[in-house]
């Protein structure tokens, strides 16, 4: 039996810096998704080992140097946050993510998401939890974005278009 995809926007699997928090009932009235371009420190995991050991050592050395520079710069600025990379499946309407916490269906989350464009853009998204699946000692959380404006939706669509272009280039090699 064939099923029809009823999604309005395409989805992309990616790995981005993200931070989430539960929004209290009192805060929910004044929520508005937004784009910010303030400075941010991205706390990435150690780069993966490459088959080329010399290149891997070189990249790790550069990573360490960049971390040192970021630490110096971040100590001089007040508005810098630190977020970790997480695997995501995202579209302009919602996303699926992995969490160490479970949330109730209908809960509202604030999602701080960093898009890797120059300069880095931080999206403050709000999502209503629509599905929670227990997966060993983590949870797969699906959210539907709410209080979305055109600027934020355009940023997500642009990112999606760019990621799909990268995937196509990789397949054509």
Q: 12-38+85-171: which CATH architecture?
A: Beta Barrel (2.40)
pLDDT of residue 170: 67
- pTM value is 0.68
Query: Domain-by-domain residue ranges, the chain?
Result: 12-38+85-171, 41-80
Q: Tell me if 146 sits within 8 A of 108, measured CB to CB.
A: yes
- pLDDT tens readout for residues 94-151: 999 999 999 999 999 999 988 877 667 889 999 999 999 998 889 999 999 999 999 9
Q: Which of 73, 97, 93 is nearest to 85 (CA)?
A: 97
pLDDT of residue 76: 42
- pLDDT tens readout for residues 47-102: 666 788 888 787 777 877 776 665 555 444 434 456 678 889 998 899 999 999 99
């Amino acid at each position: 039996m064939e099923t029809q995809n009823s999604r309005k926007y395409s989805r992309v699997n990616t790995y981005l810096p993200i931070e989430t928090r539960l929004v209290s009932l009192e805060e929910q009235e004044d929520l508005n998704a937004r784009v910010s371009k303030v400075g941010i420190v991205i706390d990435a995991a150690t780069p993966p080992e490459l088959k080329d050991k010399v290149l891997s050592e070189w990249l790790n050395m550069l990573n360490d140097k960049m971390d040192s520079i970021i630490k110096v710069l971040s100590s001089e600025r007040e508005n810098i946050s630190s977020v970790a990379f997480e695997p995501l499946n995202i579209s302009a309407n919602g996303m699926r993510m992995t969490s160490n916490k479970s949330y109730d269906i209908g809960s509202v989350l604030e999602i701080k998401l960093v898009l890797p464009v120059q300069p880095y853009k931080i999206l403050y998204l709000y999502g209503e939890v629509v599905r929670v699946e227990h997966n060993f000692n983590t949870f797969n959380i699906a959210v539907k974005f709410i209080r979305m404006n055109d600027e934020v939706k355009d940023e997500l669509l642009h990112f999606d278009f760019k990621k799909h272009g990268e995937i196509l280039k990789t397949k054509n090699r």
